[in-house]
Amino acid sequence: MAFRRTHLLALGGFDPQFRVAGDDVDICWRVLENGWKLGFCPTATVFHHRRDTLQAYWKQQCGYGKAEALLERKWPDKYNAAGHLTWGGRVYNARGLTPLWWSRGRIYHGSWGSAPYQRLYQPAVSILGDLPLLPEWYLVIGFLALLSMVGLVWRPLLAMIPVLVLALGCTLLLGATNAVIASSCSNSKQRKMPWRGLAIGTFLHLMHPLARLYGRLKYGLHPWRRRGVLRPLLLRARIVSVWAEEWKAAEDWLHDLQLELRQQGAIGFAGGGYDNWDLEIQGGMLGGVRTRMAIEEHGSNRQMLRFKIWPRCATIGALVSLLMVGLAVTAAFDHAPAAAAVLGAIGLLAGGRLFLECALAMHNLTDALRVFETQATRSGATSPEPVMGSVLEHSR
């Protein structure tokens, strides 16, 4: 990287909390936040120092996991509920990426073959294709191992052992494939592939996500983290009305709502062009709420803002909860109390977590809307119909 000194000083320099990694990402985001531009120089060459021992490599990757946790804490609006960057870009024909044997490339011809860069485009990778490459994949393997162990006391769950073996085999296959690609790139002039280097490369590819997972969990970047303050709130769809004496465009109101949510420690993600909602507030990985705003114009720059709010439950969370509870009931009827207790605890934990995250997001949103009502009251505004507080009480 290279920066103009005046710009770097204006930003206050690098953030000293990033000692291992993340400093470059943070400074680039701060540059963009200040309205400046980033440039890319394709002829620049960078030499990275590669660790020469397994212990040093493990420490380096744990440091990367720590940097991800620090970045998510400082820039929460750039990360999704699972703790990963919400990036919408695409890498085309990148060497070293694991090939997907079950997918085929696609050429977008365009109207009469006019689409540019036709050979570069590849279909987007689904979450199932990315899952074995994520650090949290090891948590999935641990969950499958737990269900397989429960199978020792309740035989029907022994069917999870082949699934566990398949998950482990997929992980090992991806690691070996990446090692083969790396070895073939570094030894392109040699006919024979060094098997010792291939074994070490496979082990490093298996160690890499595990070390990152350790660093992420150690510094608070885990799937069960939560944002904001939890207060009990009835989970149901509701309509909240806020009277405003000052006219603003819909985009400005939603932007102000996003800022207020961020001050509370919550994040409101904007909906896309084809979504039927405007903002989504995530309470965690399993649940949140969505809202859609409508504005009534009352003349003289007066507006009535109406927000429809409803809970959003992740399908995977609801399915896991129902499946575990169903298996627990089946195990209880099959006279396997130990298995029923373990499965029931998992199901109730998943269901309770889903409810908790939805309630947290619901409180964050309604509390932010109360700030709008307070601001209108302080400005001496009077509304022709009940404002948000009384509407909330009526909806309950």
Please write the tens of the pLDDT for every residue from 314-361.
888 899 999 999 999 999 999 999 999 999 999 999 999 898 888 888
pLDDT at residue number 394: 37
Q: How many domains would you assign to the chain?
A: 1
Q: How many CA atoms lie within 13 A of 50 on its CB side?
A: 4
pLDDT at residue number 147: 93
Query: Do the beta carbons of residue 198 and residue 182 sit within 8 Å?
Result: no
Backbone angles phi and psi of 229, in degrees to 5: -105, 135
Share of the chain above pLDDT 90, in %: 32
Better-predicted residue by pLDDT, 241 or 130: 241
Tokens read off for 130: 């990315």
Residue 165 lies in a domain: no
Residue 4 lies in a domain: no
Better-predicted residue by pLDDT, 286 or 192: 286
Task: Match 């009352």 to its residue by tokens.
Answer: 298
pLDDT tier, 101 (very low <50, low <70, confident <90, very high otherwise): very low
Residue 198 lies in a domain: no
Q: Which range of residues forms the domain containing residue 323?
A: 238-395
Write down the pTM of the prediction: 0.74
Angle at 279 between CA 276 and CA 284, to 5 degrees: 115
Q: Average the pLDDT over 259-276 and give the result.
A: 81
Residue 61 lies in a domain: no
Residue 17 lies in a domain: no
Residue 146 lies in a domain: no
Q: Average the pLDDT over 205-225 and give the result.
A: 88
Provide the residue type at 118 as one letter: Q
Residue 247 lies in a domain: yes
DSSP 44-95: ----PPPP-SHHHHHHHHHHHHHHHHHHHHH-GGGB-TTS-B-------S-T
Residue 317 lies in a domain: yes
Distance CA 365, CA 239 (A): 12
Backbone angles phi and psi of 393, in degrees to 5: -60, -40
Task: Match 């939603």 to its residue by tokens.
Answer: 254
Distance CA 270, CA 265 (A): 16
Give the long-range contacts of residues 277-282, CB within 8 A, separation 24 or more: 278/254, 279/254, 279/365, 280/312, 281/361, 281/364, 281/365, 282/80, 282/81, 282/227, 282/357, 282/361
